[in-house]
Amino acid sequence: MLEPLLILELAVLGLFTGFLAGLLGIGGGMIMVPFITIIMSARGVSPDLAVKMAIATSMATIIFTSVSSVRAHHKRGAVRWDVVKRLAPGIVLGSAVASLGVFALLKGSWLALFFAAFVSFSATQMLLDKKPKPSRTLPGTGGQLAAGGVIGFLSGLVGAGGGFVSVPFLTWCNVAMHHAVATSAALGFPIALANAVGYMIAGTGTDGLPPGSLGYVYLPALAVIAVVSVLMAPLGVRAAHAMPVKQLKRVFAFVLYALAAYMLYRGLTA
């Protein structure tokens, strides 16, 4: 049985992550990783293992939030399915390499620092709001396959749905912001599924895992967050389509900066 306080903490986290998943197309992982790290550490999980479990659990929840979010975006005709089809194969391959291999080998402190660095980079790109060259378009099938591989690999290392890379990449290629957010939400599903399976396999037999764990994934947290966040994601989508593009980018950037700062602190003090 989960203690009532833990259920409350996870439910509140699910509310925020579900809303932000729909609003920003980031799958909610950027919010979940720091807070699940705090929750696991407070319950006696070692700092190194807490970071890994937070990354794996947050990724597993994105399987559910991405479906809820993308359905709402699809109803508005905002998802670029042609882009999803070209990026998805590379995403699955990159995710497998990260979650089955590199993730298990790296220390949690290094993963936290890696998380902070890439999230800060993505936030800066959004905040600067640099306009891409009008002539720039998405690369061909091969280029999108390679881009998908990078997105999947980086997502696998930091436990995010890929929006922190895919949204800046798509806007850089002159995809409209609202389409970029919606398409990123759709890409969250293959990213989350491939990585979650990898984390479960890679974490099997790891010492120090708390009861209720499947590999690195903490199933009680997955269940509570998934149920609540799925209900909130459509509300975030509605807010995203009502906000002006520049304001949406600014929200995205400052949320990412705050989370990067926390994970930098975790990485340096672990």
Residue that wins the pLDDT comparison between 136 and 219: 219
pLDDT digits (tens, 9 = 90+) for 90-100: 999 998 888 88
Beta carbons within 8 Å of 80's beta carbon, 6+ residues apart: 170, 175, 179, 182, 183
Cα separation, 143 vs 71, in Å, equals: 27
Helix (H) or strand (E) holding 105: helix 103-105
What is the pTM assigned to this prediction?
0.76
pLDDT digits (tens, 9 = 90+) for 25-83: 565 666 788 888 888 888 888 888 998 899 899 889 888 877 877 888 888 888 999 99
- pLDDT of res. 106: 75
Cα separation, 59 vs 50, in Å, equals: 14
pLDDT digits (tens, 9 = 90+) for 112-162: 788 788 778 777 877 776 666 777 788 888 999 999 998 888 888 776 666
Based on the number of CB atoms within 10 Å of its own CB, is 195 exposed (0-12), middle (13-18) or buried (19 or more)? buried
pLDDT digits (tens, 9 = 90+) for 26-42: 656 667 888 888 888 88
pLDDT band at 239 (very low <50, low <70, confident <90, very high): confident
pLDDT band at 218 (very low <50, low <70, confident <90, very high): very high
- pLDDT of res. 32: 81
pLDDT band at 213 (very low <50, low <70, confident <90, very high): very high
- pLDDT of res. 16: 82
Mean pLDDT, range 164-180, rounded to an integer? 83
Evaluated on CA atoms 142, 134, 236, 99, the torsion sign reads positive
- pLDDT of res. 147: 92
| Mean predicted lDDT score pLDDT of the chain | 83
Tokens read off for 264 = 């930098």
User: Does 200 score more than 90 pLDDT?
Assistant: yes
SS3 string, 246-267, reads: HHHHHHHHHHHHHHHHHHHHHH
- pLDDT of res. 5: 85
